[in-house]
Structure 1
Amino acid sequence: MILTRALLAFFATAVTVTAVVVPSVEKPNILFIFTDDQDARIDSLSYMPNVKKHLIDQGTVYRNHYATVAVCCPSRVSLLRGQYAHNTNITDVSPPHGGYEKFNRLGLGENYLPLWLKKAGYSNYYIGKLMNEYTVSNYNNPKPAGFDYQDQLVDPFTYTYNTAVFSRNGDPPVYYHNTYQTDVIHTKTLAALKAQRDKSDPFFLWVAPMAPHGQFKLSEKGHEDIFSEPPISAARHAHLFKDVKIPRRPNFNPANQTKTASYWKLLDQLTEAEVDELDETYRSRLRALQAVDEMVGSLFEELEAQGKLDNTYIIYSADNGYHLGHHRAYAGKTTNIEEDINVPLIVRGPGVVKGHISDVVSAHHDLAPTLLALAKGDEFVPDFVDGGVIPWTEGLKRHPKPASVETFAVEFWWEQLFNEYKSRLSGPTGTNTYKTLRVISEKHNLKYAVWCTGEHELFDLKKDPYELQNIYNSEEVKIQLLDRLDAVLSVLQTCSGASCRNPWHVIHPDNENIRTLSDALDKKYDVLYRRFRKISFKECLAYFSATNEEPNDLLLTESLEQNQQLFTVPPNYPHFAQQKQASLVQQRSESCPHQLITEEKENTQPIRVSRADALRLFSLVPQGVESDIGHSVPTEKELDERARPVPQELVDAHVDWVNHGFYSKFGN
């Protein structure tokens, strides 16, 4: 009970200095469970009985929920800010284009979800993985804002299952000797939930286990190097799923490669040995998720024991999806295939339909405004937020700022595709920079991608759910459809705020009735759409640059006089389009003054140490032996007894872990 007493003592002192802006009458509690790299497309949820019992059977599965950037840190920041990555300008997991220090340099942590919820009267808790580059050296510089209690994983040990290292409330980091990381999160989260027993204020509890992400490990040969490997499970789960294999669907390691943009056309069919490796990786991922599933069961038991279950929304999701052999790609994420961008979203709570599967379309940047709507805190959502409210309940269906009805973009910037794990670490040559449009409705299910190489892809997922037939150059595709897709993607390419929620309004500013692709396909708009510029990149860059992607205007500049009888346009329409585009850029600049900077110097210069010294420092925190760790979930007392301070030499070192491969080994 030591951890619980510590939590209660902390809140007893904190309550005297925390100003609650809005009364907490009848506000629901919110529990957000957020895993790392968990797929929605290759059946991982089918092996989680507690998730099925408490969430799937008692809530709604939203099968059309997406990450708009398929990699950890950018996706998490997109969720925290309610913005596309082109507006946060966090486009990588590490410097110079991503990571915790850039997140703070851009001021993103001064105006984000936990602070908005705090204004709405919530007590906020965060336990687990926050984002990359939150380290043993910068854990309190600054401490993440807006949390009443936080206990985060710190790098370079975030991706080590048997070396669990945390910083609690900005205190010096500690490690938990011979304790499985997910079990540490389990015990800490349960303690935080128990601390709510005698409280009436609503709480927001975000728990973020690292599973089923892969892990870093030092070479056993003299600690000379670091490599990545599939996730490892708690010892009590190591025997499970010995015969399970990746579902063999048509896009798994196909004999004929039908995706041909950029690096895809260079991928050879995987060998039998590689497929065997991937099957074992799949089993490892399922085993690692079992400790998460046990935690889910414990949290529901505690909510029920407190009598708070009926007034709590429980949301389950993941930062991005994952592929394993799909379209011949080995293991990883960052692509625009459905396995990487379609992520789990399950919601249970007051007013949410039970045992239901929904086709409602949503994305991660919609979660923040939706949570604020549940918290009755709409007034605290800034105008710069790109997302809208997802209709989880009847009340939310009537919200004045709904999420985009059917349309969103997926974006990425990088030099190549990375394969995870040691046997296929080096990916194929070919850039991984693209913009992708998804249109999902009762009538359409389209994926349209434009690559910085000038290549295009168009898949009709109603007819071709596994993305096996690129119909971009097919005779069956009419130019009228391509014109609409190009136009709306050109808006979403640089959208901000309301224009992201309804990109059609940018194209048809005087016609509120056009909100879908079907509306826009009316032939009377053919001339208008024919005149839109085609989306393109000036060059292939590994980061977002507005000048590399934004056209000077959305429309070509020829006179419209001869076509004005075909459709209604504002006077001087091309000039209007230029003004609209300039307005979007200005909105983005105001929402984050420095976000258009694409290359920056670090404020804190890490101390340069040799690779050997970096690995020696890493090894100062002992790695546990797999067979000895995770036989049971520790009690609070056991966890407290296992806590050890991280050696001060390591804390003071300020090592540039990126330079020593601690993120590039995953390519994430």
Structure 2
Amino acid sequence: MTDDQDLHLGSVDHQPFVKKELAEKGTTFSQHYVTVAKCCPSRASLLRGQAGHNTNITEVSAPGGNYDKWLISGQNEDYLPHWLTTAGYNAEYVGKIMNGYNTANYEQVPGGWTYIQTAVDDYTYEYNNVVMSLNGETPISYPGYHQSDVYSAMAVDRIEKLSAQDKPFFLGIAPTTPHVELGPGKWPVPPVRYENEFNGIKAPRHLNWNPDDSYQQQKVSWIKNQELLNDTTIEKLDGLYRARTQSLLGVDDIVGDVIAKLEERGILDNTYVIYTSDNGWHIGNHRVSAGKSLHYREDSNVPFIVRGPGVPANKTSILPGAHLDLAPTFLVIAGLTPDDEGYPPFLDGRSLLEDWKNPEGEPARCPVSGGGREVINVEYWGRGEEETPWGVIPHPNNSYKTIRVVRPDGATYLYSKWCTGEAELYDTASDPGELTNLALNADQDEEMSRLLSRLNGLLMAAKSCAVDTCRNPWSLLQPEPERRAVDTRTNLTITCLEQALDPKFDDFFASIPQVSFEQCMPYQYRPNEVPYWPEDAGLGEAYRKPTDNYQSSSPSGKKVVSTGKFGTAEQRNVALSEILKTAKELTPDQLG
């Protein structure tokens, strides 16, 4: 899992190992989404199999959330590695686990893993200054090497050791590429062997690249006030795009090394290899210079490729999925069922394994047996971050609730309600750039007004959902009383949008309150987001501890300083044993 890798800017097209060993020998899923378009909440959602409103990890720092909030909430004691080890697996991890794991709290190790080599803040985003903690022990500096080469050597070493054991294994590999280095105007730094690649490459100029006023004025909150990007900014953004693309060649090397080692050990054909990112990324789209945190497709729709047993080769699938579906999928692969002791009762996602094995299967049609697979919930709390070439510009009023309807055989929409009270609605089939906001004049069009009322109801259900209702939010939207089942397979009156649009349901959907916020707040606060549907929505509170007014740990040591560029051609296949020769534990002064 990479950090901030785009799908819609075409970064995967420049990764030869990913294309040859994964895409051409596996299946690419083009409709896979994150639940929150930002690092820490997205990772928490993946690891817990829950929507962001149920983990309550909603940001990368206090008060919204980070590793300290993860610990205090008790979720560290009940998530993916615990479940996998219950199923008889070794569960291991190399790389970035979550924002806020640092040199002050490293001893509170991420729970459940049989082995974890974790990046620690404030070094996580320093490509040529790698510092990591092994199983919660004193962090170690690995001077003289680029992060990509260190992670690759560690991953290959773990596969060598894991494959010699009788147990099956899970290995997460999480480089921070292509995340920017922290600091004003800093970019991702590629291995030095790739710093001259892709001369002249530019960020793609898609439909929504730096749009004119006629489109920009249809946006909401801070986005509608963005000025046209000038030539100086655009030139800088093209440089950022080039740096991102170069740095991803280091990740590509990791992929190549992992595949080669799996093949060498004779286990490649019995291993699922999943490639994705924690969120997407935009450059110049909707006039926002660069960054994430938005609900548009650039930020929420991420690369997702699967190679493994039963997965067809060289296919592209439009079947939808989300990161909260990955934990239940892994548990199915591991043979852990809902009837087994240790199976989590709170999973909001569903297994994608059948979709992986049958990626060209017919998408769900209306009426939909089981329903809800076409509904993707994306939400956000906190500030928007515009990562300009000169530093990060924070934007307030960036909290929103969003649903996507991604049915390939029918209606496809993006509908959002913001904390400012503004709404966005895009027909993503006819308007893939998400430029024409159909919500602006909906009250003047009876059909559009009817559509908005249905999408409001669906968004109300999705923002309140838990477990089964997250898998099918339509199940919360059944006209009562005197319900007459239309779909005898599900005993539901409404299973999809086309059914919901029947005028006979107008009164029912008019009775559902509007999704709203009392005010724009930087974190999730239940009273700020009432009403819910149902009103007693649990928001995951039964499965986590209170975290009100929690405080974060802060690194205070004297930082290890690294000078120089690493990742030379000679270091391309460096062994972990060679890297360890110069490794050094951080001193008490450096730990602080």
Q: TM-score, normalised by structure 2?
A: 0.91
Aligned AA (2:89): Y
The equivalences for 1:292-307 within 5 A come to 292-307=251-266
The equivalences for 1:43-192 within 5 A come to 43-141=10-108, 143-192=109-158
The residue number in structure 1 matching 2:588 is: 648
DSSP 3-state at the match of 1:321 = coil
| CA-CA distance at 1:84 after TM superposition | 1.1
| CA-CA distance at 1:278 after TM superposition | 0.5
Separation (CA, whole Å) in 2 of partners of 1:421 and 1:121: 46
| CA-CA distance at 1:548 after TM superposition | 0.9
DSSP 3-state at the match of 1:114 = helix
Per-residue Cα deviation, 1:197-243 (whole angstroms, up to 9, x for no partner): 32231100000011000112xxxxxxxxx545110111100110011
The residue number in structure 2 matching 1:389 is: 351
Q: Does 1:493 align with 2:475?
A: no
| CA-CA distance at 1:327 after TM superposition | 0.6
Aligned-pair identity in percent equals 37
Q: Does 1:366 align with 2:325?
A: yes
| CA-CA distance at 1:338 after TM superposition | 0.8
Separation (CA, whole Å) in 2 of partners of 1:485 and 1:600: 34
Q: Give the 3 Å change call, closer, same or farther, for CA 278–70 of structure 1 in structure 2.
A: same
Q: Does 1:409 align with 2:377?
A: yes
Aligned AA (2:247): A
Per-residue Cα deviation, 1:313-348 (whole angstroms, up to 9, x for no partner): 110010000011111001110011110000111011
The residue number in structure 2 matching 1:14 is: none
Separation (CA, whole Å) in 2 of partners of 1:105 and 1:131: 14
Of 549, 571, 579, the residue aligned with 2:529 is: 549
| CA-CA distance at 1:484 after TM superposition | 0.8
Aligned AA (2:462): L
Q: Does 1:524 align with 2:504?
A: yes
DSSP 3-state at the match of 2:386 = coil
Separation (CA, whole Å) in 2 of partners of 1:421 and 1:163: 24
Separation (CA, whole Å) in 1 of partners of 2:575 and 2:524: 46
Separation (CA, whole Å) in 1 of partners of 2:472 and 2:496: 9
Of 502, 525, 535, the residue aligned with 1:581 is: 535
Contact 1:369 1:378 in 2 (8 A): no
| CA-CA distance at 1:247 after TM superposition | 1.1
Contact 2:53 2:540 in 1 (8 A): no
Contact 2:185 2:390 in 1 (8 A): no
| CA-CA distance at 1:402 after TM superposition | 7.6
Separation (CA, whole Å) in 2 of partners of 1:193 and 1:322: 31
The equivalences for 1:20-59 within 5 A come to 34-59=1-26
Aligned AA (1:494): S
Contact 2:283 2:289 in 1 (8 A): yes
Contact 1:183 1:630 in 2 (8 A): no
Separation (CA, whole Å) in 1 of partners of 2:569 and 2:102: 25
Separation (CA, whole Å) in 2 of partners of 1:148 and 1:75: 23
**Number of residue pairs aligned between Structure 1 and Structure 2:** 564
| CA-CA distance at 1:532 after TM superposition | 1.1
The residue number in structure 2 matching 1:573 is: none
Q: Does 1:243 align with 2:182?
A: no
Which stretch shows the higher mean deviation, 472-481 or 236-245?
472-481
The residue number in structure 2 matching 1:534 is: 514
Q: Give the 3 Å change call, closer, same or farther, for CA 432–102 of structure 1 in structure 2.
A: same
| CA-CA distance at 1:629 after TM superposition | 5.7
| CA-CA distance at 1:366 after TM superposition | 0.8
| CA-CA distance at 1:437 after TM superposition | 1.1
Q: Give the 3 Å change call, closer, same or farther, for CA 457–314 of structure 1 in structure 2.
A: same
Unaligned runs of 5+ in 1: 1-33, 217-225, 555-579, 608-613, 654-668
Contact 1:163 1:177 in 2 (8 A): yes
Of 629, 632, 640, the residue aligned with 2:571 is: 632
Of 532, 535, 544, the residue aligned with 1:592 is: 544
Unaligned runs of 5+ in 2: 363-368
Q: Does 1:323 align with 2:282?
A: yes
| CA-CA distance at 1:526 after TM superposition | 2.2
| CA-CA distance at 1:118 after TM superposition | 0.8
Which stretch shows the higher mean deviation, 195-204 or 625-634?
625-634
* Structure whose alpha-carbon radius of gyration is higher: 1
Per-residue Cα deviation, 1:72-113 (whole angstroms, up to 9, x for no partner): 001100100011111111111012221111101000111101
Per-residue Cα deviation, 1:373-405 (whole angstroms, up to 9, x for no partner): 11111234322111111233459999xx98941
The residue number in structure 1 matching 2:295 is: 336
The residue number in structure 1 matching 2:269 is: 310
Aligned AA (2:129): T
Per-residue Cα deviation, 1:242-291 (whole angstroms, up to 9, x for no partner): 11111111111123343420011110000101001010100100111101
Of 602, 612, 623, the residue aligned with 2:562 is: 623
Contact 1:621 1:647 in 2 (8 A): no
DSSP 3-state at the match of 2:272 = strand
| CA-CA distance at 1:591 after TM superposition | 1.8
DSSP 3-state at the match of 2:167 = coil
Separation (CA, whole Å) in 2 of partners of 1:642 and 1:228: 31
Contact 1:484 1:520 in 2 (8 A): yes
Separation (CA, whole Å) in 2 of partners of 1:605 and 1:478: 49
DSSP 3-state at the match of 1:419 = strand
Separation (CA, whole Å) in 1 of partners of 2:243 and 2:515: 41
Q: TM-score, normalised by structure 1?
A: 0.81
Separation (CA, whole Å) in 2 of partners of 1:395 and 1:140: 43
| CA-CA distance at 1:627 after TM superposition | 6.3
DSSP 3-state at the match of 1:279 = helix
Aligned AA (1:542): P
Contact 1:435 1:450 in 2 (8 A): yes
| CA-CA distance at 1:422 after TM superposition | 5.0
DSSP 3-state at the match of 2:236 = helix
The residue number in structure 1 matching 2:365 is: none
Per-residue Cα deviation, 1:10-57 (whole angstroms, up to 9, x for no partner): xxxxxxxxxxxxxxxxxxxxxxxx000000111000000100111101
DSSP 3-state at the match of 1:642 = coil
Q: Give the 3 Å change call, closer, same or farther, for CA 402–230 of structure 1 in structure 2.
A: farther
The residue number in structure 2 matching 1:193 is: 159
| CA-CA distance at 1:189 after TM superposition | 0.3
Contact 1:66 1:363 in 2 (8 A): yes
The residue number in structure 1 matching 2:337 is: 378
Of 449, 462, 481, the residue aligned with 2:451 is: 481
Q: CA RMSD in A?
A: 2.1
DSSP 3-state at the match of 1:124 = strand
Contact 2:269 2:308 in 1 (8 A): yes
| CA-CA distance at 1:430 after TM superposition | 4.6
Separation (CA, whole Å) in 2 of partners of 1:87 and 1:548: 16
Separation (CA, whole Å) in 2 of partners of 1:48 and 1:71: 23
| CA-CA distance at 1:550 after TM superposition | 2.2
| CA-CA distance at 1:295 after TM superposition | 1.2
DSSP 3-state at the match of 1:229 = coil
The equivalences for 1:245-324 within 5 A come to 245-256=202-213, 257-258=215-216, 259-324=218-283
DSSP 3-state at the match of 1:35 = coil
Q: Give the 3 Å change call, closer, same or farther, for CA 344–283 of structure 1 in structure 2.
A: same
| CA-CA distance at 1:425 after TM superposition | 2.5
Q: Does 1:231 align with 2:188?
A: yes
Q: Does 1:348 align with 2:311?
A: no
Separation (CA, whole Å) in 1 of partners of 2:184 and 2:585: 25
Contact 2:401 2:418 in 1 (8 A): yes
Separation (CA, whole Å) in 1 of partners of 2:420 and 2:569: 48
Aligned AA (1:101): D
Q: Give the 3 Å change call, closer, same or farther, for CA 166–243 of structure 1 in structure 2.
A: same
Aligned AA (2:67): Y
DSSP 3-state at the match of 2:178 = coil
DSSP 3-state at the match of 1:470 = coil
